[in-house]
Chain A
Amino acid sequence: MSPSLYVPGDGPLHRLPAGAKLAALAGLGVALFLVSSPIVLGAAALAAAGVVAATGVRLARLRGALAGVAIVVAIVVAANAWLAGWREAAAVGARIVALVLLGYALTLTTRTSDLLATLERLLAPLERIGLADAGKVALAVALVLRFVPELMKQAADIREARAARGLRVGPVALVVPMIVRVLRSADAIAEAIDARAYPPCKSPPTSAIPSSTGPGSADHDNA
């Protein structure tokens, strides 16, 4: 799995701050539901396609993602055409296309770490009143990214071991050992996180490093 759908680049959308893009997306998302004219919505869909094109991402990169959307849009448009007429169907189809394309424009041009940083800023007010912990969210996201390749490897190993014995793998026979193996490592991982001074202290960083002289610091000695 590639860690993100983000595609590096330096176009105008890439340079725009993540927070601004998120706010624009939220605003446009609401606006698209307030409009019902198929002509306006069609123009919006074209504009959204223009925005995606402006990201400079090659179409091939998007083909997989857009194929799924195209099928859903086709079904929805057909159903609406039959139930409510072509005008309505065109409006609905254009609206979905516009929404989904704008969503992809955000995802394609914004680093996951930038979105996370924006999320941390959004959580800051909640954090001050003790309702959220941005640090925990960031750690949890990192842990997921760490677990995905591990689980994939377990799945491959289990399939291989079963195939070696000439067995087919049903979902239960695949998922049970996969979970059990990784659960066994969960305690060790929690222990390792605690061993590295987690949860973070809130005191100022000046007191962070204990007598960095001590018996000396390895990286300074070798640097």
Chain B
Amino acid sequence: MTTRDLVLVALFAALTAVLGLVPPITVGFLPVPITLQSLGPMLAGLMLGPVRGGLALALFVLLVALGMPVLAGGRGGFGILLGPTGGFIVGWIVGAIVVGALAKRFARTGAWRAPDLANAALACVVGGIGAVYAMGVPWLSVVTGMGLGPAAASMVVFLPGDAIKVVVAVMVARGVQRAYPIALR
């Protein structure tokens, strides 16, 4: 890993923190405002690839554990990781790795033709939503004593927001890569 890689990893960990600090964005047809923070793993995966993207989110989770108020709403600390939503936060690491691996394999980010856009979006759905929930839901179920079924069912309300974030992530990645291409690693 070069010094530049290290700087990029830190930059995307910081970006994930800042996405939680910018005011939540209201979308017309949704009842609740959505925070942009869960864009972090999608963007890190799409723009840095699995290794550096995964490290960026691991670094972010480390900062949460160290007590920095980097989660949406200025939260942080070991308590959050132990709480009901801890699995989703740790799941972001896996999410970034999966998004990065899929994007690297199937989406030629740089060309950004229609199939690349679709594949990048699919990578975000599988990694940024699927993998994150695969970690988060069982954790939620264990901590709260809810069954897996009800825990999973309670996630449905978040899916519209997640779908919007997939679109935003792909558009941001395309916009950034046009101005400043980075090879996925």
User: Is there an interface contact between B83 and A190, defined as CB atoms closer than 8 Å?
Assistant: no
Q: Which residue of A lies closest to B79 (CB)?
A: A103
**Distance in Å: Cβ of A200 to nearest Cβ of chain B:** 12
Cβ < 8 Å to A, chain B residues 10-62:
10-11, 13-15, 17-19, 21-22, 25, 36, 39, 43, 47, 59-60, 62
A110 to B78, CA, bound (A): 11
**CB contact under 8 A between A141 and B176, given known A5-B76, A171-B168, A172-B168:** no
Is the contact region of chain A dominated by helix, strand, or loop, or is it mixed?
helix
Residue of A116, A150, A186, A194 ringed by the most chain B CB atoms within 10 A: A186
Contact of A69 with B83 at beta-carbon distance under 8 Å, contacts A96-B144, A151-B18 already known: yes
A155 touches B4 (CB 8 A): no
Instruction: Tell me if B131 is interfacial: C-beta within 8 Å of chain A.
Output: no
In contact, B144 and A79 (Cβ under 8 angstroms): yes
Tell me what chain B mostly uses at the interface: helix, strand, loop, or mixed: helix
What chain B residues lie within 8 Å of A5 (beta carbons)? 67-69, 76-77
In the complex, whether A182 has a CB less than 8 A from a CB of chain B is yes
B residues 146-185 touching A (CB-CB < 8 Å): 146-147, 150, 154, 168, 171-172, 175-176, 179-180, 182
Min CB distance, A47 to chain B, in Å? 15
Tell me, rounded to whole Å, the shortest Cβ–Cβ distance linking B79 to chain A. 3
Contact A189 B67 (CB under 8 A): no
Distance in angstroms from A27 CB to nearest chain B CB is 13
Q: Select which of A6, A99, A102, A140 is within 8 A of B59 by beta carbon.
A: A140
Q: Given A103-B79, A180-B175, list of 13 further CB < 8 A pairs?
A: A68-B75, A96-B84, A100-B82, A102-B78, A140-B9, A143-B14, A144-B13, A148-B21, A151-B15, A155-B18, A176-B175, A180-B176, A186-B4
Name B's A-contacting residues (CB within 8 A).
1-4, 6-11, 13-15, 17-19, 21-22, 25, 36, 39, 43, 47, 59-60, 62-63, 65-70, 73-85, 142-147, 150, 154, 168, 171-172, 175-176, 179-180, 182
